[in-house]
Structure 1
């Protein structure tokens, strides 16, 4: 039986896996990237991922080095202000509004927002430019066998690949993680999220807004103009039954509901895409490495979509892993290198996951007294300038 050899095998062709393939390819490694599902790169497709990703400042060098940012920048909407709105009073109306402005800590925006389907389109195009990257959509990981010198992976098409470093970027139910027997700790909230795009009469002015009432945040994230008018991406987190009810509403009733939930801060919202539903969990793997294997992104950690943390944690994984691999270019994937990767990333991942868990539970509060306490805490933290700046830097992952 013939065996294909490579430096890096990436299991998973989502946004994180494609970014990793471009980054390792641009760094000169031989890369094979596989995913059982071909990437959906058209917004109108029934299975298109309608969520968006906000790349925060520390992620920009990763995208630039991978040769991705020049492709993505023309489609990105800048995020200059993160606005927190507490609407926890008797009526769904803004009672406390606090703006966290990137200008307080930097001369650049907090980040840049892009639709996930478009990210896949541009990333696949970038991989086609790299002769040392072999992207195999429609092929997944079937079996994994590791030993000190290599990981030997059998793919779903029967091909066997020998690789110095296997990267599991294959999602929250990662076949690679399961093959290595790495357990996870999972927190469930009984929540789901609706993701969709809207247009609105008032310009967003590059402000990303989280409206907190109960059930979870209602988040509006700027998008480039759509059909000549202002547009935003929305993630609306609620209990599972409530999301099911909202997803089934006729469009006029849904538009009325989402406008009310947004407190009308951008005027009447008009649905501009289909509605997709995503489960919300908080999950962290016990280890981020194994023999000849590294876990990144949702294979290693899943967090609720609060503060644009998810993919930026993933790109922090990639940044550390790529730096270590380049420092061990002759043999990436040694036990010492992968143990160092785990030690550098896992404590920060656990800390950030716990912080996001706390924020999510706070956003779900329904009792009026507890909502009042949440509003008071927001007011207090914002009012102290050094604390406010520290929170903004921590949210970006800056030291």
Structure 2
């Protein structure tokens, strides 16, 4: 029987971040993941890139992960939002000298940095290429029997396996969910003109089109949402044809482009768990909530879960509390409930609002963006949301140890 303070099912970006944060504060964990770590850091495993908000990056700095990403991230100095290629958009550009709005990283590089940090963590035992066969949660603790025969025991179980979390389903936690009938196409490109560390979000009636700056300055990641019915034909286009389609949507402002990586896609949907806790159970990341990538906040929500849960557990451990105690878990649930609901509702509203076709709807949207652009306090509030700096921030998101 292997014992620890916490068993984390799911060794992805959120699960490993939580485990490393706990290790830095003397709380032990057993992380169980079915994937092979070497496979999961391959470029063909996940071609996505993520805008890590400034608060999330401060947490990565505080737990010793950011130093392993030095030189690989591209600061986002501004975000330009537009309704198609029409004038009258909205620019988020923090004052000179402020922290960037976020840092762009390839997911595989974040994953590689987390695995490297996990190998150096004395209080973290990573169990890969296996999965739980049976899980028991009761008044005495949590016991997990792995398919390879090993037995694990801890006071608390954390489900961080992603959108289709078996832990959430086994706990019979109700989930609100729907599909957007859209597919996101991911493609890395190079372009003639430098991006200037600016991210672009261009809204078209058939879905948003994001251009995200990456290193070097003439390389970007494209996240292109298209109707699901069009996805097979679009994914089947030749390289020359896909370049033409992307250039048309970009409007040529970065000059001619070329493909710089494999093309991938994934369906878009929304889900939100009715509760993120149960008997000796906490959910984190996509196991608790999944949103449209329209504002790039999906992974950052998971990082905020990890920061809040780590603080609750570390402070509980220092007081000598049972880490599976219901009152302790209720603190985590209350802390995260408003933030996750507001971000989920906002991204869903934006997706629907910008999906309304017609010139009148476009004119109304441009008028609204103009008002936000001229309203300093509202614009600053939205920038704070993009940075993940609003509300009651956990210590790690402020760059502080717990």
Instruction: Give the TM-score normalised by structure 2.
Output: 0.92
Residue 5 of structure 1 pairs with residue 3 of structure 2: yes
Q: Over the residues paired in the alignment, what is the CA RMSD in angstroms?
A: 1.6
**Which position in structure 2 is the counterpart of 1:90?**
none
- Kindly state the Cα deviation for residue 362 of structure 1 after the two structures are TM-superposed: 2.0
Q: How does 1:158-307 map to 2 (within 5 A)?
A: 158-225=149-216, 230-307=218-295
Instruction: Give the distance between the partners of 2:41 and 2:257, measured in 1 at CA.
Output: 23
Q: Deviations over 1:330-385 (max 9, x none)?
A: 33221110011111112221121011100111232333322222222212222222
Residue 97 of structure 1 pairs with residue 89 of structure 2: yes
**Which position in structure 1 is the counterpart of 2:15?**
17
> Contact 1:143/1:179 (CA < 8 Å) preserved in 2?
no
- Kindly state the Cα deviation for residue 98 of structure 1 after the two structures are TM-superposed: 2.4
Distance 1:116 1:358, change over 3 A: same
Q: Give the alignment partner of residue 49 of structure 1, picking from 46, 61, 65.
A: 46
**Which position in structure 2 is the counterpart of 1:319?**
307
> Contact 1:188/1:282 (CA < 8 Å) preserved in 2?
yes
**Which position in structure 1 is the counterpart of 2:33?**
35
> Contact 1:144/1:179 (CA < 8 Å) preserved in 2?
no
- Kindly state the Cα deviation for residue 161 of structure 1 after the two structures are TM-superposed: 1.0
Instruction: Give the distance between the partners of 2:333 and 2:41, measured in 1 at CA.
Output: 36
> Contact 1:26/1:65 (CA < 8 Å) preserved in 2?
no
- Kindly state the Cα deviation for residue 44 of structure 1 after the two structures are TM-superposed: 4.0
Q: Give the alignment partner of residue 84 of structure 1, picking from 50, 71, 81.
A: 81
Residue 70 of structure 1 pairs with residue 56 of structure 2: no
- Kindly state the Cα deviation for residue 42 of structure 1 after the two structures are TM-superposed: 4.6
**Which position in structure 1 is the counterpart of 2:400?**
none
Instruction: Give the distance between the partners of 1:366 and 1:125, measured in 2 at CA.
Output: 47
Instruction: Give the distance between the partners of 2:55 and 2:163, measured in 1 at CA.
Output: 24
> Contact 2:270/2:290 (CA < 8 Å) preserved in 1?
yes
> Contact 2:90/2:372 (CA < 8 Å) preserved in 1?
no
Name which of structure 1's ranges 298-307 and 386-395 shifts more when overlaid on structure 2: 386-395
**Which position in structure 1 is the counterpart of 2:357?**
366
Instruction: Give the distance between the partners of 1:255 and 1:156, measured in 2 at CA.
Output: 46
Q: Deviations over 1:94-123 (max 9, x none)?
A: 43332101228x711011110001111121
Instruction: Give the distance between the partners of 1:377 and 1:125, measured in 2 at CA.
Output: 45
**Which position in structure 2 is the counterpart of 1:156?**
147
Q: Which runs of 5+ in 1 are unaligned?
A: 88-92
SS of 1:358's equivalent? helix
Q: Deviations over 1:158-191 (max 9, x none)?
A: 3221112211110111011111111110132101
Instruction: Give the distance between the partners of 1:368 and 1:244, measured in 2 at CA.
Output: 29
Q: Deviations over 1:287-344 (max 9, x none)?
A: 0111111100000000111222111111111111111111111332211100111111
Instruction: Give the distance between the partners of 2:355 and 2:62, measured in 1 at CA.
Output: 39
Instruction: Give the distance between the partners of 2:333 and 2:179, measured in 1 at CA.
Output: 25
> Contact 2:101/2:386 (CA < 8 Å) preserved in 1?
no
Distance 1:263 1:163, change over 3 A: same
Instruction: Give the distance between the partners of 2:220 and 2:247, measured in 1 at CA.
Output: 13
How many equivalent residue pairs?
386
Instruction: Give the distance between the partners of 2:107 and 2:224, measured in 1 at CA.
Output: 17
Q: Deviations over 1:75-97 (max 9, x none)?
A: 1100110111221xxxxx34333
Name which of structure 1's ranges 135-144 and 10-19 shifts more when overlaid on structure 2: 135-144
> Contact 2:27/2:314 (CA < 8 Å) preserved in 1?
no
- Kindly state the Cα deviation for residue 396 of structure 1 after the two structures are TM-superposed: 2.5
SS of 1:366's equivalent? coil
**Which position in structure 2 is the counterpart of 1:116?**
107
- Kindly state the Cα deviation for residue 144 of structure 1 after the two structures are TM-superposed: 2.0
